[in-house]
Amino acid sequence: MSGISIRKIGMLTLALAFASGAASAATRSHNVVFGAVNIGQRITLHYAEEGRGTPVIFVHGSLGDFRYWKDQVDAFAKHYRAIAYSRRYSFPNSNPARPGYSAVTDADDLAALIKAMHLGKVYVVGHSYGALTGLFLAVRHPQLIRALVLAEPPAVSLLNDLPGNEANAGKAMYADIERRMVAPMKADFAKGDRSAGVGVFIDYVFNDPHAWQNWSPAERAATLQDAHEWDVMMTTGELFPPISPAQVRGIKVPVLIMSGGKSYAFLGPIDRELAQLIPGSQSVVFPNDGHQMWYQSPVLCRHDVEAFFRSVSRARQVSVSDHPPS
């Protein structure tokens, strides 16, 4: 595995893309660094970073890229080394298509990035599919994690294992996702119809058969820019790789679970199950927000996450003081 390579060609374009849509030029510190990491096997991941201190890595969801976190990178950089990267097939990466792609692959990619950048133990903040990536990172590479924030990971296989009165409803939700979302998405992507495949997803999560067609051409074009990962995933990979209750129960790193009170119906039961399974996990619900709580309540989200990080840091300090080196 090679080390870090900072690509100068195209960095201006990357910088402009990251800055677009920011609150205002006056409010930014202008200390963002853009780079690219070769993690081996011809895979390169682009990132933006700002600040100094303990690293915080932000992991975006589906139909997104590192720009999702632009405002949070700037804000967290006041106290941390904030890093937002693009997962394997998201803008501006141009990695070769490989079969078997899923959130498990993304978790291994993230582990390789952490090692290549010599970051040591890091805080990880994941949203949606980025949270599913973080969940698998905690299962497969726990030694790299200082603490983990999961904002509504679509760990849909857990719907088949819900306890008690939720069992039947969970199985029905899972079957519905497979029948009305995953199967038609696979069919459309197999035909090479990316727009139709993305439309199936949008219509399903918004519970509106006309949601996608009602978006403006500009909105659809912006969304399709980051849909290449599904070209690979829906044809030769797996959208929702299974994770077992036993695997989740084995997670030992500190975890904060963030939920939107008005989010998609199938995500609430998953978050509640994660909270029950992960030992010592903490949960916070934003009652007036949906799945995009990081956009709807960015200051509240940041406040709760930083408070969680501080509590983890204090606990580590107490643990070290209780067990001094011999």
Given the structure tokens 């990466």, which residue do they identify? Answer: 93
Report phi then psi at 208, rounded to 5: -145, 115
Least confident of 23-32, 151-160, 234-243, 315-324: 23-32
Q: Please classify residue 275 by burial: count the beta carbons closer than 10 Å to its beta carbon, then call 0-12 exposed, 13-18 middle and 19+ buried.
A: middle
Average pLDDT over residues 54-68: 97
**DSSP E strands, the chain:** 4-5, 33-40, 43-50, 55-59, 81-85, 122-127, 145-151, 255-260, 282-286
At residue 17, does pLDDT exceed 90? no
- pLDDT one-digit tens code per residue, 251-296: 999 999 999 999 999 999 999 999 999 999 999 999 999 999 999 9
Alpha helices (H) along 102-208 = 103-116, 129-140, 167-177, 183-190, 194-205
Q: Which domains does the chain have, with CATH numbers?
A: 4-159+244-316 (3.40.50.1820), 164-236 (no CATH)
- The two structure tokens encoding residue 15: 């910088």
Cα separations in angstroms, 180 against 104, 160, 173, 192:
24, 17, 10, 19
Q: Given this model, what pLDDT does residue 31 score?
A: 87
Please state, in angstroms and rounded to a whole number, the distance separating the CA atoms of residues 38 and 116: 8
Alpha carbon 2 to chain centroid, angstroms: 25
- pLDDT one-digit tens code per residue, 128-183: 999 999 999 999 999 999 999 999 999 999 999 999 999 999 999 999 999 999 99
Please state, in angstroms and rounded to a whole number, the distance separating the CA atoms of residues 210 and 199: 9
At residue 10, does pLDDT exceed 80? no
- Helix or strand holding residue 316 (H, E): helix 298-322
Q: Given this model, what pLDDT does residue 9 score?
A: 31
Predicted confidence band of residue 13 (pLDDT cuts 50, 70, 90): very low
Expressed in angstroms, the distance from the first to the final Cα of the chain is: 36
What is the DSSP-derived secondary structure letter of residue 179? I
Q: Given this model, what pLDDT does residue 30 score?
A: 56
pTM: 0.91
Average pLDDT over residues 177-203: 98
Strand order in the sheet with 122-127: 4-5, 33-40, 43-50, 81-85, 55-59, 122-127, 145-151, 255-260, 282-286
